[in-house]
């Protein structure tokens, strides 16, 4: 999409708040039936807090983990409460000196019409948007920042190196591929449909794009990586990861950012043993969770904004309309039905 002027609607104070509640604990990928929508009278705004009219609700793979009752890097969402979600919105009421009514914000707004939050629940105080508002929920939001910081801090790609990306057309992966290409790297993308393959080649600028569902991944990956892979940004885990590890160059870096190909961790899945690859190739295999790197969040948004406004970053969005789309959105995401960042417009 191209960058166009942003129009912020003029929102009034609410008389009711629609909320998407987690009502049942999913065993694997959350389905529509695990949620319910209710309507409540909006809560009041305490001191040092703001009321936000949500405009874009975010749908993210990590929500699977937040909904599950398993040891994870975030505590599970309590049953009967608003589903944890990121969102972009406009401040309609402020009892905080640093945030004005009309400012745009991005953060933990939840799947609901209105959120009452304190600044520590915000990831980024947008103020007046310099790019389309939806971008701050995608390429300039957690997805873009994850891509940028994961790649640059853990992958540290050098010009001329080869960077491999799984879910290459996804909300995170497509940014990884483009940031790597803009840094002078050769980029190889793995994706799961011919439509996304075309996007990878024509829009996201990958030097090679591979549909991993078309068979002989090992052979095609080896052919695409004749000198091995220097940086692998992995969002999927599983057998794709195993194959990638066996094509890493010596001193290669593997960034574990997601495990989307594994439908369930209970019972624990098995696969090829990978410690010999780590040893003989002297890999550095690191887990990346963006919340460990919040001190660098603003710098990452600024770098991405600059590239975006210079026309060096292309992005896709898949925007559903209406809060009633939220309950089924995570299952649709895992089914790979979306092209680009999945958001729900409720403004």
Applying CB under 8 A, what is the total number of residues that bind a second copy?
37
Q: Judge whether 164 and 190 are in contact, CB under 8 Å.
A: yes
Q: Tell me if 73 contacts a second copy by CB under 8 A.
A: yes
Euclidean distance between CA atoms 198 and 209, whole angstroms: 8
Q: Tell me if 259 contacts a second copy by CB under 8 A.
A: yes
Q: Tell me if 61 contacts a second copy by CB under 8 A.
A: no
Q: Tell me if 299 contacts a second copy by CB under 8 A.
A: no
Least distance to a second copy, CB of residue 146, Å: 12
Q: From the CA atom positions of the chain, what is the Rg in Å?
A: 20
Among 233, 288, 297, 314, indicate the residue that binds a second copy (CB under 8 A).
Answer: 288
Q: Which residues contact 9 (CB under 8 A, 6 or more apart)?
A: 55, 90, 347
* HSE value, Cβ hemisphere, 13 Å, CA-based, for 138: 27
Least distance to a second copy, CB of residue 190, Å: 15
Among 95, 152, 284, 328, indicate the residue that binds a second copy (CB under 8 A).
Answer: 284
- In the shown chain, the binding pattern of residues 123 to 152 toward a second copy, with x for contact by CB under 8 A and - for none, equals ------------------------------
Q: Tell me if 301 contacts a second copy by CB under 8 A.
A: no
Site for a second copy in 197-256 (CB under 8 A): 234, 237-238, 241, 250-251, 256
Q: Tell me if 266 contacts a second copy by CB under 8 A.
A: no
Q: Tell me if 71 contacts a second copy by CB under 8 A.
A: yes
Q: Tell me if 33 contacts a second copy by CB under 8 A.
A: no
- In this structure, what token pair is assigned to residue 332? 């649709």
Tell me which residue of 145, 117, 126 sits closest to 88, measured CA to CA. Answer: 126
Among 163, 197, 257, 329, indicate the residue that binds a second copy (CB under 8 A).
Answer: 257
- In this structure, what token pair is assigned to residue 326? 């939220």
Euclidean distance between CA atoms 105 and 112, whole angstroms: 15
Q: Give first-to-last CA distance, the chain, whole Å.
A: 20
Please, which residue, 195 or 280, has the CB nearer to a second copy? 280
As a whole number of angstroms, the longest Cα–Cα distance in the chain is: 63
Among 97, 268, 311, 335, indicate the residue that binds a second copy (CB under 8 A).
Answer: 268
Hey, which residues does 54 pair with through a beta bridge? 89
Among 44, 72, 214, 321, indicate the residue that binds a second copy (CB under 8 A).
Answer: 72
The gap from C-alpha 76 to its chain's centroid, in whole angstroms, comes to 18
Least distance to a second copy, CB of residue 295, Å: 15
The region that residue 156 occupies, defined by phi over 0 for left and psi between -120 and 50 for alpha, beta otherwise, is: left
Among 278, 319, 332, 339, indicate the residue that binds a second copy (CB under 8 A).
Answer: 278
Euclidean distance between CA atoms 85 and 19, whole angstroms: 12
Among 7, 279, 295, 335, indicate the residue that binds a second copy (CB under 8 A).
Answer: 279
Please, which residue, 137 or 237, has the CB nearer to a second copy? 237
Q: Tell me if 289 contacts a second copy by CB under 8 A.
A: yes
Q: Tell me if 158 contacts a second copy by CB under 8 A.
A: no
Q: Judge whether 33 and 24 are in contact, CB under 8 Å.
A: yes
Q: Tell me if 308 contacts a second copy by CB under 8 A.
A: no
Q: Which residues contact 267 (CB under 8 A, 6 or more apart)?
A: none
Q: Are strands 284-287 and 17-22 parallel, antiparallel or unpaired?
A: unpaired
Euclidean distance between CA atoms 227 and 208, whole angstroms: 14
Least distance to a second copy, CB of residue 234, Å: 7
Q: Tell me if 264 contacts a second copy by CB under 8 A.
A: no
The residue ranges that bind a second copy (CB under 8 A) are 71-73, 234, 237-238, 241, 250-251, 256-259, 262, 265, 268-276, 278-289, 292
């Amino acid at each position: 999409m191209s960058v166009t002027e942003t129009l912020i609607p003029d929102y009034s104070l609410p008389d009711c708040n629609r909320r998407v509640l987690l009502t049942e604990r999913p065993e694997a990928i959350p389905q529509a039936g695990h949620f319910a929508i209710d309507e409540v009278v909006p809560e009041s705004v305490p001191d040092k807090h703001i009321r936000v009219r949500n405009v874009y609700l975010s749908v993210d793979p990590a929500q699977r983990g937040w909904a599950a009752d398993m040891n994870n890097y975030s505590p599970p969402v309590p049953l009967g409460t608003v589903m944890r979600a990121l969102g972009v919105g406009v401040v309609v009421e402020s009892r905080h000196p640093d945030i004005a009514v009309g400012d745009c914000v991005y953060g933990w707004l939840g799947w609901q019409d209105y959120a009452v939050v304190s600044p520590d629940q915000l990831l980024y105080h947008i103020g007046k948007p310099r790019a389309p508002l939806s971008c701050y929920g995608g390429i300039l939001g957690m997805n873009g920042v994850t891509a940028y910081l994961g790649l640059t801090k853990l992958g540290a790609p050098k010009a001329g190196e080869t960077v491999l990306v799984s879910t290459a057309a996804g909300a995170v992966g497509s940014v990884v591929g483009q940031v790597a290409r803009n840094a002078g790297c050769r980029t190889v993308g793995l994706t799961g449909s011919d439509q996304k393959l075309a996007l990878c080649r024509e829009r996201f600028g990958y030097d090679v794009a591979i549909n991993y569902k078309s068979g002989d991944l090992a052979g095609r990956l080896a052919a695409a990586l004749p000198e091995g892979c220097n940086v692998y940004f992995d969002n999927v885990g599983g057998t794709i990861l195993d194959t990638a590890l066996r094509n890493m160059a010596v001193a290669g870096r593997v960034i574990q950012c997601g495990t989307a190909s594994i439908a369930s961790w209970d019972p624990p899945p098995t696969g090829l043993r990978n410690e010999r690859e780590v040893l003989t190739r002297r890999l550095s295999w690191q887990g990346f969770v963006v919340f460990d790197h919040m001190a660098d969040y603003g710098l990452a948004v600024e770098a991405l904004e600059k590239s975006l406004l210079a026309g060096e970053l292309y992005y896709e969005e898949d925007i559903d309309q209406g809060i009633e789309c939220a309950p089924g959105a995570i299952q649709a995401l895992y089914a790979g039905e979306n092209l680009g960042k999945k958001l729900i417009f409720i403004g």
